[in-house]
Structure 1
């Protein structure tokens, strides 16, 4: 009997071992099938997953005490492919599955419910699609992480009902369908981390939020929450982090809010909160306080000056008054302060950089008084120093000019005096120097040329004097030079012609003399040139004719000679007034150049003497020009003699020879910074536009891009950018690039021809053509669709970076095409947040984030397009004198939103009243696009939808 019993026990044991062996074998095969599912992943995590290796030794695998798979840790392993849920859920002991921060895509199916033993599930930061399934069966979850995973549609909040052990729920950044605050969550009383930002939750925050007393982190930001912050939130005394920003919350901070004494991070910015900040005085563990863009009033509690841990304070755009605590930021490793756009008074706290960690001081547009504290001259970590638009006085401490990491120094619109010291040469990172409207004086030091990162200099309306340093031409990244309203004297440096990135030069209202340097005509990006109200003499250089200027003002000088006819198409008559020696047959009020009576006797005597003395030289010059012209014509006729390489991007109905034969003077229709443009008619009658970029054997600038040129292999970044961008684009609202033709010394780009020019021409230039609102609306919608395709319809977002009305071309039916992609950038798929620091764009269209980061992305295109919409609605240019100094169309529109009547007055009077409603809707879209903060701007996809909804009623009736 005993033997039989022992036999049975041995039998059962052997059976168990056999079953166990089969189970282990099954789990091994399951893991190997998972490896196969991720075979296309660029990862080394699976190198140890081999059949002869014990599965518990696999990388990322943890087994339980019985040797079964308990945890799979594959976080941030570059996994790609579909999620093999059926395989994962075959592991019956699996309690933890971590697949976050990978490149997984496709749907997540209801097979997930078979993983019923899971306690930890992380699918966050992936690229899944569709809705997330009901997972009610996994009711033992303790940690559920699904943030930024790409899910959409309706989320089954009720599937969380029985997850009573849940401690962390993270669903942020998933575009679910809009829903009221999910009350099922309010019963999950063990929660200590709740992250629901950007989950499309609307309505009020329920009073029952106070039931979740174990919460240490509550994140409800970027939703559609309304109403007041409930008083019951003060029961959550364990809270360390409370994020409510970017909602529509109203009211005051609830009484008792100061009970949340464990708070370290509090962000309720971008709401409509008001009242005072008295409750904040009790929160002495705060590290970060973000309450910007609300309507708070009253004084900052003085207790903030004693907060020992505070390192980050943002209170900008409120109605706060009184002084800031003078000990503010002096205790901890203070990093950042932004209290701009309030009504603060008193001195700037002196010790915010006491620990040597300060990165940004932003105190714009207040009523601060006194001097800039000397301590900031030694703040070597400082990147942004902005104290403009205050009432500061005294001298700027010399060391501030030379802060080695400073990218932006803004002290404009104060009452500061004294010079810019030679320390400026140490500012190797400085991109923007904004000093306008002070009493700064002295000469501009030549050491400014050593600040080689400078992009924008604004010294306007100060008391600077002396010569403009010749060394200024060494600033190769400079895009804007504003020195108007000073006492600069001497000549304009010829070296300025070396600043090939510059697009805006304003030297008006100085004492400059001598001639206008012809080198200014070699600035390919120059859009705005104002040299008015000086003492400049001599002729207007013919080289200026090659520029594509949106504004030219040479008035009130001592210029002589003929006004080049080519400049008359780019500026109105007032650009030349006040120059008694100028002549032109086409402008009323000027002498005709053929009439001797139009020129003074002294001038004719001087001209006669000069002519007699230089007759031989002129004869030689004529001969030289004749020979040069002859050579050019021969060169144009003999383009075919060079070696050419044609790359077609569409089916071509013309030959390369037809293009090459047509590159000649009589077909020239335009000149730009990157080359000449020709109108070509091929044999079948089709019209084409050909951009001809000719190079020489040297290194120079073309447009805003560096071109390295040589006989063996010409390389131009701008040419390559335009070809790369346009060759892959197929859209009715983007100009079509038929082919590129590359030669040894030049390149040709062959586009479809746009017979009606640009939107700028039709709205603003001498070719101005009255556009009815229906046409303007069609242009707005078509251009929006073109940009939408660039941002959302390509393999990776294409950032245009120079959206403006002159880059929106019109066909014979006035249908728009986005054009000029010389500055475009394709964002790589593996870097969706990528931006570029190459300064690009045109003054008046450039997004304000340049002032903060010098970076652009898709949101920068949105801002520029918003300016175009404002042009269409108002009929005005981006920069007009009526807007005031330092103001543009965005400022002008923002300042006229006070009443309904003032809004209506902004609409172009040429637009009939029946269409005013539609025009105002488009203007509202423009305002959204030009929001100061990039995150507040819509996407181009949203813009297209909004423009479609703004369709004029008359058009709707016709369609119906």
Structure 2
């Protein structure tokens, strides 16, 4: 009876009481985490065997004892502090929390996980110092703390690890020295400290004691000095990466002792001297070597090229001489990049015969001779880049069958002969550049097969004949440059089918006939240059419907008739209709002295431009001459009598208002104007000044039609002592002398709803004016950091962030070449009456070439504003899009916090560091602007996340501007986002917008 009663009672005992102690520990972990995706949904009490062994991410020992051996929370999207309760699991050997939002610091309690063998906390939000006690874990073999925000030194105690085989501290904020004590970890096989802002220091020679080491990655660790000979003792080393440092001296000959090494990366250092001539033959395992972007001289050793290499990067050094023929024997060679050296002679004649070449770049050298016909023998060649050499001869006929080619650049050489028939129609080619050679023959009809071709540049050759109709089949063609050839015939009617075309340059040929009437089909055409041909007939009025056209040159032809009125609809930066047979009046928009050279050589043209019309029309009779003389005498008398009165009045006028000689001003417009320059000039008095700074003054001018414009009047030179921003975001330009040209060049050719509109510019020799659309709500910075900041609720701030990001994305991704603003800040974001945002002040903007060494253009001085300047820009003076992204991230942090980018309350920190510190110490609520409604907390957290991503210390970890736009838009959409927030804790947005170090010409 008692047994039956006990059994009945047992049925009513809650199952949770049956869960063993280890299960309860794991439930404590669960309670400490935010779990938006429900990873822990099956971590409950309903277990059949009293253990948590069947829970997600939990693995128990095979003996059936129920002891937890492994906890894997990788990619679980959970957030919270590190759960030290895990160390109560006595048998825990494996712990991975990779790619979550584990925050806070690591405490010394982690040392109580005595059984731990594998610990992966990579890609989280951990901060503070690395715990010294980690080395007390007696069984630890694998330690990965990559992608966190650890700072300070690597503890000297790390040299005490007993069994550690792999350690990765990549992409943190560790700023001490690399400790020599790491050389004491005799068991170590992998050491990866890359991408940390270490203090400048040498590679510790003690690392040569790690005789079991297989991987040594010290990329971008601020290393200086020579490569120590001691590394030659790393006999088991497979992968050596010392790239992106400041290493000096030669490559030690002892490197040849690394007989097992497969890959060597030394690119982007300051290494000098000649490469070791002998010893390479010992390195039989070597397959990939990159010593590019250094200062190496001399020739390339034969022994190095005799190895079975797969990838050889020697670009941007000072190497010279003839390249070794023996490289042709490398049966696995798929990549050869030699550009930017002084190599001479011919390329190895059998190059590619025995190897599956994919990428070949030998640009910018002194090579001569013919292209090796065997380059594409194995049918894998994708990129062939040979520009700026002295190659000669013809394109090998075998290239007609190289169907794998995607990019071909043979420009600026001495090639001749006809291009092989099939070469014109390679199906995968996107870029075909044959510019500046001596090619002859015609463009073959086979070009119809080049369905992916986007850029065709065959300028400056001797091509002849007519353009085939098949040219109109290239649906993806964006640029076609065929200038300075011997083409003839009329333009094929099919050319109007090229709807993606942005540039058509056929100047200096022998084309004749008329421009196709349906030219308006080319809606994306930005540049049309048909100068110096034999075109005739009238200029189609439909050219005026090409809304984005800003470069039109039809000079040196036989066009007749009137200038079509439709041209007035265009916003042209350059117009040239000179040397034709045009007649009639010049359209009023172009009847200005600035355009006089655009119409010269058209005897039948006349307009109200001084010096254009033939004065013989005015002096046909002696009576007219007599009448003119009488008028001059009378006028002279009046002028003499009035001179004294004028001088008296002028003296009084000068005391009351700045005088302006309106007749000497030149106006260049970029949009259709409803006002004249005289309306602007007449309103530039002190009563209308709304801002003043280092580059000049800004005036608000109310026009006669009631509209308003903002006028920036640049100083003749820099005014010392005035460095404050100009009101309304038309701020100061650090380089005043170049600011006008930069602003006109940039804003004059771009169009976007979130870029401030430049109506026109007016200039004399001593003064320059820029006329913009007026933004009634001024600049974001002025409004956000004033007593009026209450006007900016969260929906408005979010809208401003989206608008500004779209404007910057247009500059980075849609402008060709890309434009970097270089001074992104809240004072350069203007707000219209509805708080729509426009990016403004392009006085220091730069066009950038993404293929340049170092990933950007070098600047002579830093441009930008304190608190917004990306850290790498400040010490490298190299500018690219990532610099703007950092600055925009600071703007986002301003919108979220309501604080300035620099402020005394931060001490020596700036806003970025203040936000990171405050998040760690006080939580997310402490960084929000108290003026913001807490009901928007979730959205604000997500936007804050984006700001933190944009301000990552390493440029490579910042998302592209296009990605930023997408992330911001996702927040405001109804679709699920990739963010999750709960109780103010953040989950980062991970992205794949990364690029390698390759620098391809």
TM-score by length of 2: 0.61
Contact 1:870 1:889 (C-alpha < 8 Å) held by counterparts: no
> Highest relative contact order (Cα 8 Å, sep 6+), 1 or 2?
2
What are the Cα deviations for residues 625-649 of structure 1, in whole angstroms up to 9, with x where unaligned? xxxxxxxxxxxxxxxxxxxxxxxxx
Say if 2:428 is the partner of 1:433.
no
Whether 1:165 and 2:200 are equivalent positions in the alignment is: no
Matching residue of 2:24: 29
For 1:71, the equivalent position in structure 2 comes to: 70
Q: CA deviation at 1:238?
A: 0.8
Select between 570-579 and 770-779 the one with higher mean Cα deviation: 770-779
Asked if residue 231 in structure 1 is aligned to residue 253 in structure 2, the reply is yes
The correspondence for 2:234, drawn from 177, 198, 212, is 212
Please tell me whether residue 252 in structure 1 is matched to residue 274 in structure 2: yes
Equivalent in the alignment of 1:97: 95
Cα separation, partners in 2 of 1:96 and 1:242, compared to 1, 3 Å: farther
Task: Call closer, same or farther: CA 1:311–1:162 in 2, change over 3 Å.
Answer: same
1:43-122 mapped onto 2 (5 Å cutoff) = 46=40, 48-53=42-47, 54-65=51-62, 67-75=66-74, 77=75, 79-102=77-100, 107-122=105-120
**Aligned-residue offset at 1:322:** 1.5
Point out where structure 2 has 5 or more consecutive residues left out of the alignment.
1-15, 149-170, 622-667, 681-686, 699-705, 726-730, 740-751, 762-769, 782-798, 829-838, 889-1001
2:465 maps to which residue?
A: 442
Q: Deviations over 1:668-700 (max 9, x none)?
A: x98749x999999xxxxx9999xxxxxxxxxxx
Match of 1:579 in 2: 602
- The equivalent residue for 2:263 is 241
8 Å contact from structure 1 (residues 80, 105) kept in 2: no
Give the structure 2 partner of residue 366 of structure 1.
389
* Deviation digits for residues 22-63 of structure 1 (CA, Å, limit 9, x no counterpart): 999343234344445554454x76555444454333444443
The answer to which of 24-33 and 284-293 deviates more is 24-33
- Change in 2 beyond 3 A, CA 1:590/1:160: same
Alpha-carbon distance in structure 1 between the residues aligned to 2:595 and 2:289: 55
1: CA distance, partners of 2:800 / 2:476 = 24
| Matches of 1:870 and 1:259, distance apart in 2 | 59
Match of 1:520 in 2: 543
Conserved? CA contact 2:388–2:413, under 8 Å: yes
CA distance in 1, matches of 2:757, 2:243: 34
Between Structure 1 and Structure 2, how many residues are aligned? 705
1:105 and 1:677 map into 2 onto residues whose CA distance is 59
The residue number in structure 1 matching 2:292 is 269
SS at match of 1:439: coil
Residue aligned with 1:472, SS? helix
Answer whether contact 1:119 1:142 (CA < 8 A) is retained.
yes
Q: 1:274 to 1:534 in 2, by over 3 A?
A: same
Cα distance change on mapping 1:111 and 1:173 into 2, 3 Å? farther
Describe the SS at the equivalent of 1:296: strand
1:403 aligns with 2:422: no
Query: Do residues 779 (structure 1) and 732 (structure 2) align?
Result: yes
How far apart are 1:181 and its partner, in Å? 2.6
Aligned-partner SS, 2:528: strand
Q: State yes or no: 1:151 paired with 2:148.
A: no
User: Within 2, Cα distance between the matches of 1:186 and 1:589?
Assistant: 80
- The answer (yes or no) to whether the contact 2:34–2:80 under 8 Å persists in 1 is no
The one-character-per-residue Cα deviations of 1:918-954 (angstroms, maximum 9, x if unpaired) are 79999xx9xx99xxx999787248999xxxxxxxxxx
> Gapped runs of 5+ residues in structure 1?
1-20, 599-668, 681-685, 690-731, 737-749, 763-768, 787-798, 820-824, 848-855, 879-887, 895-902, 908-916, 945-960
How far apart are residue 138 of structure 1 and its match?
4.1
CA contact under 8 A between 2:824 and 2:864: conserved in structure 1? no
Whether the 8 Å CA contact 1:358–1:382 is kept in 2: the answer is yes
Structure 2 counterpart of 1:195: 217
Structure 1 position 229, deviation (Å): 2.0
The answer on whether the counterparts of 1:83 and 1:105 sit within 8 Å (CA) in structure 2 is yes
Residue 755 of structure 1: which of 705, 711, 714 is its match?
711
Q: 1:190-249: CA deviations, max 9, x gaps? A: 221122212333333222222222210111112222222223222211101111112222
1:354 aligned to 2:377? Answer: yes
How far is the alpha carbon of 1:465 from its aligned partner?
Answer: 1.0
SS of the counterpart of 1:485? coil
The answer to whether the Cα contact below 8 Å between 1:245 and 1:269 also exists between their aligned partners in 2 is yes
SS of structure 2 residue aligned to 1:394: strand
Secondary structure class of the residue paired with 2:711: coil
Query: 2:748: which partner in 1?
Result: none
Correspondence for 1:551 among 574, 581, 591: 574
CA distance in 1, matches of 2:305, 2:460: 41
Q: What's the offset of the Cα at 1:567?
A: 2.1
| Distance (Å, rounded) in 1 between the aligned partners of 2:476 and 2:821 | 24
Q: Are the structure 2 counterparts of residues 593 and 181 from structure 1 closer, same or farther at C-alpha, using a change threshold of 3 Å? A: farther
Q: What SS does the aligned partner of 2:53 have?
A: helix
CA distance in 1 between counterparts of 2:384 and 2:348 reads 15
TM-score w.r.t. length of structure 1: 0.63
Would the aligned equivalents of 1:260 and 1:283 in 2 still touch at CA under 8 Å? Answer: no
Q: For each residue in 1:499-532, what CA deviation from the matched residue of structure 2 results, as whole angstroms up to 9, or x when unmatched?
A: 2222112111111111211222222222211111
Contact 1:157-1:184 within 8 A present in 2 as well: no
2: CA distance, partners of 1:328 / 1:520: 50
User: SS of the counterpart of 1:780?
Assistant: coil
Residue 914 (structure 2) aligns with? none
Q: After the TM superposition, which residues 804-953 of structure 1 pair with which residues of structure 2 at under 5 Å, given as runs?
A: 840-841=814-815, 846-847=817-818, 939-940=883-884
> What is the rounded CA distance, in whole Å, between the counterparts of 1:510 and 1:223 in structure 2?
54
How far does the alpha carbon of each residue in 1:783-809 deviate from its partner, in whole angstroms, 9 at most, with x for none?
Answer: 9xx9xxxxxxxxxxxx99989998997
Q: Is the 8 A contact 2:68 2:89 kept in 1?
A: yes
Distance 1:409 1:107, change over 3 A: farther
Question: 2:671–2:760: 8 Å Cα contact kept in structure 1?
Answer: no
Distance 2:520 2:139 in 1: 71
Question: Which piece of structure 1 moves more, 25-34 or 527-536?
Answer: 25-34
Please say which of residues 404-413 and 249-258 is displaced more in the overlay: 249-258
Pairwise CA RMSD: 5.3
Corresponding residue of 2:13: none
Aligned to 2:318: 295
Cα separation, 1, equivalents of 2:510 and 2:402: 32
Distance 1:215 1:406, change over 3 A: same
Quickly say closer, same or farther: Cα 1:447–1:217, change in 2 above 3 A: same
Distance across 2 between alignment mates of 1:827 and 1:336: 41
Give me the whole-angstrom Cα distance separating, in 2, the residues matched to 1:827 and 1:285.
53
- CA deviation profile, 1:343-397 (whole Å, cap 9, x unmatched): 1112112223222222111111111111111222222221111111111111111
